Amino acid sequence: MEGQELPCVLIDCIGGKHGVYEDHAEFLKERFCLITMKEYLENKSFLGKKIRAIYMWYHKPVINEELLQSLPNLKIVASSGAGVDHLDLNLLSSYGVKVSNTPLTVSTDTADLGMALMLASSRRLVEGHQMAISPDTEYFPANWLGAEVSGATLGIVGMGTIGYKVAERAKAFEMKILYHNRKQRNKEEEHAVGATYCKKIDDLLQQADFVMLAVKLTPQTHKLIGKRELQLMKPTAILINISRGLVVDQDALVEALQNKVIKAAALDVTYPEPLPRDHPLLKLKDVLITPHIGSATVKTRHLMKENMTESIQAGLAGLPIPNEVLL
């Protein structure tokens, strides 16, 4: 684009806790004129008219009506990750702004993490590590046991791209796979992973040794797993959440774990993130929590950056947008 002015793209910041990675910023600067929120706020009247896209990393910058009103030439918001529950799609559409995300990019790593959480929780890896390195350990007890994964029943709630990749991995563990989804997969896809469709989520919950949540957060899935659903699960079952924290009623989960309604939980997502340091989930030994790292690998984060860049370039050129999010 030599000799041409680069299109202006709004970002939250570079570096820091939630900013665009510094090496990503160098890549982006070759293609766009990056404007940070700080720069924008210092010169709204001038920069507001120049900004044509928003590069949304870690759900930042926050997009509201006030911001949209000040960006008359905004064409597209490129959001990292698969979920778009942090965006008001109807509001953006009313301003003629298109939205893209990166669902396919994150699916492999998130499925891998789902399996890692299932294995770590069932085989009590964190407890085992603590025992192995404790200065107080004099022997390893012979009756210190975990739960088997191979041959067990896995119930996948949400059989989209991530859920299906989980099923592919679970098949290698010779697991019996059940799934619940808004729409049933075709017979060929079911046969490929040996999955059985449960039209009612209750049927899945009652049979599964492991319940893995891989749904999008929508009004329909908000607190999808509550007290009633937890009581349907086996007392030996483990709940795994790789979707969004608000898919689970956390108060109900705490109560279920305290009362041995279910055996354990492994969570990559909570609400809020991170949890308050005095939250009861942090005090339960049968809970494994990771810091929302489903897509957190070097390769995937680079692919996310490239996908978002392609979407912005296509949107500004009036071309079909890869991974456009439609209402």
Say if residues 181 and 197 touch (Cβ distance below 8 Å): yes
148: annotated active-site residue: no
* β 153-157/98-100 pair status: unpaired
- Residue of 52, 124, 180, 292 marked catalytic: 292
Cα–Cα dist 33/212, whole Å = 42
**DSSP class per residue in 212-223:** EE-PPP-TTTTT
Cα–Cα dist 196/282, whole Å = 35
- Residue of 273, 301, 306, 324 marked catalytic: 273
Cα–Cα dist 74/56, whole Å = 13
292: annotated active-site residue: yes
* Rg value, the chain, Cα: 22
86: annotated active-site residue: no
As to burial, measured by CB atoms within 10 angstroms (0-12 exposed, 13-18 middle, 19+ buried), residue 204 is buried
Q: Catalogue the E-assigned strands of 254-316.
A: 264-267, 287-289
- Residue of 24, 180, 244, 301 marked catalytic: 244
Which residues are bridge partners to 9 per DSSP?
Answer: 34, 53
Report, as residue numbers or ranges, the catalytic residues.
Answer: 244, 273, 292
